[in-house]
Structure 1
Amino acid sequence: MSWKETLEDLDGRRERSAAMGGPERVARHRAKGKLDARARIAHLLDPGSFQEFGALVGGEIAADAIVTGSGLIGGTPVMVGAEDFTTVAGTIAPGSNAKRYRLAELAVRNKVPLVMLLEGAGFRPTGAHYGRTPTDLLAQARCSGKVPMVTGVLGPSAGHGALIAPVSDFAIMSRQGAIFTAGPPVVRESTGEEISKEELGGPDVAVPSGLIHNVAETDEDALDEIRRYLAYFPSSAWSYPPAQLSDDSTEPRATPELLDIISRDNRSTYDIRTVLDVVFDTPDWFEVQPGYGPAIVCALAHLGGHPVAVVANQPEILAGSIDTAAANKAAHFITVADSFHLPLVFLADNPGMLPGSESERAGVLRAGARMFAAQTTASTIKLHVTLRKAYGFGSMVMSLIGFDNQTAAYAYPGATMGAMSAAALGLASGAAEEVAAQLREMELLASYYSAEHMGFDELIRPEETRDALLTALRRGIFARQQVAEPVLRTAIVP
């Protein structure tokens, strides 16, 4: 054969792979308001940056139902895989399993993020025996804590393929997404239950369960959010988060707005999100998992141009009490932030862990212990501000307790703290009104007593919040005088 014939043969094979499931199937897919696998990758990556591998795997089955390769997001290399639902329902066979394994292997080898875009029906019945062929999940698990892992669920995702989502740092779903151990046909055969894929694992199920962090309306929105999320992170645990310095971000700025937002009356509520709008560089911060455990707000933001991870009590929900879902959410978020060296900013305003029989049945103490283990073993920069109150174990999970390796710990004057509130202590002890009044007076003086004994580095005015945090952050960042490395964890997670 001549070079001309050889290369024409290669081009033909590539064209068959690029056609995915064929024009009719691709058209039906697009008619549902979805992007196809290749269009998803094109939307996610910087224009013209995609370099595919494994295009010829699968032979007549185009790319063996998963498009894999590398590209750039904001100029940073990433590895990306997109299941192709138009080709045998995006199912996994030995060839596509090998591609998925290679994808994750290269992410760790090259120290770059891994992005998986899911819409597939799990393993494909092929009759082939995998033997000791390594499963892709082994390589994906080895990415954890080493490179950022993000999953987009953009259609129904079942079985083995779906397992990358709970392993990931961040998982986002489109409104047409659904995720489950097994799809409706298998459920019907196994249990007799008749159920739709939306009822089985759509956003109304996957978000309340905590499996999926965020929801986007369309494929395009989900892909845009993935780009936005990754902008806060370094390419791997071997590097530090990228700063976005500008004149606006580096200038001192008072925050007098907080005097109007945060009432001195501990019983008055406010939206902690308005505090984040004021304290951080712009209101364009990124909230993670807003639909789960809303008593804590977890957000990615910039402070003085530096990416930070914010853990803040939400007084509008349960008066800021920390319930099981909120603690579990925060524990995962803290671990992800610490793994990639994002400084943690704790904004505390809570009356403690949520009490009550329902809360106990939900395992609130175990979840609280999980959050405590995450934050106390975190080796990244930790900054703390008690805005109004932080009681009992609720203060410890928010990094208030002394000698917990904080870079800085602040409180507002009049902030109350201790084992429990004066009102709760008076009721629990059966104190007379005169004693109860003394307890309340002592509570109001608690911040000064604590400051006098170095319980805080300083009491600050609300107007000083941003500048105090920024000064401490810059000082903490100066400690980065050695090469970044993955975090070694030794605690057993509760």
Structure 2
Amino acid sequence: MTNAEAWEKTLDDLEQRRARVLEMGGSERVAKHHAKGKLDARARIAHLLDEGTFQEFGTLVGGAEAAADALVAGSGLINGTPVMVGAEDFTTLAGTIAPGSNSKRYRLAEMAVRNKVPLIMLLEGAGFRPTGAHYGRTPTDLLAQAQCSGKVPMVTGVLGPSAGHGALIAPVSDFAIMSRQGSIFTAGPPVVKMSTGEDISKEDLGGPGVALPSGVVHNVAETDEDVLDEIRRYLSYFPPSAWSYPPVYLPDESTGPRATPELLNIISRENRNTYDMRKVLDVVFDGTDWFEVQPEFGTAIICALAHLGGHPVAVVANQPQVIAGSIDTDAADKAAHFISVADAFHLPIVFLADNPGMLPGGESEREGVLRAGAKMFVAQTTATTLKLHVTLRKAYGFGSMVMSLIGYDSQAGVFAYPGATMGAMSAAALSSASNARDDVAAELAEMELQASYLSAEHMGFDELIRPDETRNALLLSLQRGLYARQQSPEPVLRTAIMP
């Protein structure tokens, strides 16, 4: 008997075990899953990664009873960049977590940090499996996942019901996106019914209508395929880790200098008139295919990933169409998280300010607007990445400071349009608050109109610019500021206590 013949029986046994794992929960359960318009766990990974690049580990964990222990895990490439990816297999014991799959989840996160590559988790599972086994001091996946934060990009896709322990990776992640069939909650409807008596569906408990307004999940897409495509798109703006700088597109006709006269028609000169800030982004940045994060949460601020001169940038912009651009609690919370993520991975941040300040009022105060505003302020003032600022029309009080309109804050460029108004409050508000006579009110309004020139005379801005000069002013400042990258990047050391 040759050596090859001696190996044959052993290798046949291995292949049979592998084939059983590829069947996941069995043909019947997989077909039922597909009938709901969903991809199975392995198909999700295949769609997410570059074709043929998936390398699985932990295939035989779970033995014959639980294929891959309900978690398909491994590495692959996205646009040529290595990533670690784990997908819960709902067809196998409802995607539940046991000691074996918990160890696989820990290993995924551990390898992501070790290899300095992004970590992606695709969720559809019912939390810990009631096995009766004692977990003891088994390493928990959340420990390793938390240690990834700020070091490698962390992205979560919620592609079905996700409950309990497994769901916690979503709020820990930098970016979480769900499908219309996704739902996420601390405990599923049966546990809620038993614990509280509340009879509620998984959609009403944690579907998109709940998870998006609560801020637990950032974005939503229609299908599994759409979610996976959006994950690929999101990661295209980021470096593989905090030890690298973001990727740069080669120059073409879309990345060079150009005037932006369109802004003269988009932006109303009258502060009381609104306009859509999204149209400003379409004009200023390299193209209109920029990526908005949390478009349905904190809508008074737009947080977006875009390109300027081929360089990925993070954009924080007031939206005058929503409460006149006033910054409320949700908007400030959203922006604070977005700024921290951008800073962690060295994306330059462009602030486009047009707001009358933090949102006042009893309801706003009860929601903790000052705490949220302080959180955003700390995030942007402690950011070590390159920062650029433009005041388009107005920026009052603390609302200007959270948008990086504050002196000696290490900005690479600070600009404003002529006639842009700023100060503690608007002339109209000051006139009303002080019961000013008509002649005094008119004088205050005139002083407000001259504020940009007075500020420019005292170096309040680097320069007052015309709206049609906006892109070029930002582009040239960005290109100059990037020369500061004269040493290898490292993870950001955070020392401030977040409000």
* TM-score using structure 2 length: 0.99
| Distance across 2 between alignment mates of 1:391 and 1:145 | 32
Give the SS at the match of 1:47: coil
2:177 is aligned to 172
Matches within 5 A, 1:217-236: 217-236=222-241
Q: Give 1:328's match in structure 2, choosing from 329, 333, 345.
A: 333
1:354-413 superposed Cα distances (whole Å, 9 cap, x missing partner): 000010011100000000000000000000000000000000000001111111100000
Give the SS at the match of 2:473: helix
Deviating more after overlay: 244-253 vs 425-434:
244-253
Q: Give 2:422's match in structure 1, choosing from 417, 426, 431.
A: 417
1:5 is aligned to 9
Alignment of 1:15 onto 2:19: yes
1:268 is aligned to 273
Q: Give 2:61's match in structure 1, choosing from 57, 62, 67.
A: 57
1:152-178 superposed Cα distances (whole Å, 9 cap, x missing partner): 000000000000000000000000000
| Distance across 2 between alignment mates of 1:251 and 1:397 | 30
Amino acid at match of 2:163: A
1:381 is aligned to 386
Q: Give 2:263's match in structure 1, choosing from 258, 261, 271.
A: 258
| Distance across 2 between alignment mates of 1:2 and 1:127 | 40
Q: Give 1:125's match in structure 2, choosing from 119, 124, 130.
A: 130
2:35 is aligned to 31
1:95 is aligned to 100
Matches within 5 A, 1:93-492: 93-492=98-497
Contact 1:249–1:303 at 8 Å: present in 2 too? no
Q: Displacement of 1:216 after TM fit? A: 0.3
| Distance across 1 between alignment mates of 2:69 and 2:407 | 55
Alignment of 1:43 onto 2:34: no
Structural RMSD (CA)? 0.6
| Distance across 1 between alignment mates of 2:22 and 2:144 | 26
1:74-124 superposed Cα distances (whole Å, 9 cap, x missing partner): 000000000000000000000000000000000000000000000000000
Contact 1:245–1:306 at 8 Å: present in 2 too? no
Q: Displacement of 1:247 after TM fit? A: 2.0
| Distance across 2 between alignment mates of 1:489 and 1:420 | 32
| Distance across 1 between alignment mates of 2:456 and 2:216 | 41
| Distance across 2 between alignment mates of 1:336 and 1:371 | 12
Give the SS at the match of 1:2: helix
Q: Displacement of 1:435 after TM fit? A: 1.1
1:238-292 superposed Cα distances (whole Å, 9 cap, x missing partner): 0000001222144210000000000100011000000000000000000000000
Q: Displacement of 1:233 after TM fit? A: 0.1
Contact 2:243–2:488 at 8 Å: present in 1 too? yes
Q: Which runs of 5+ in 1 are unaligned?
A: none
| Distance across 2 between alignment mates of 1:97 and 1:163 | 13
Q: Displacement of 1:151 after TM fit? A: 0.1
| Distance across 2 between alignment mates of 1:370 and 1:87 | 42
Contact 2:255–2:286 at 8 Å: present in 1 too? no
Contact 1:383–1:408 at 8 Å: present in 2 too? yes
Give the SS at the match of 1:247: coil
1:407-464 superposed Cα distances (whole Å, 9 cap, x missing partner): 1100000000000000111111121111111110000000000011000000000000
| Distance across 2 between alignment mates of 1:242 and 1:193 | 49
| Distance across 2 between alignment mates of 1:264 and 1:245 | 36
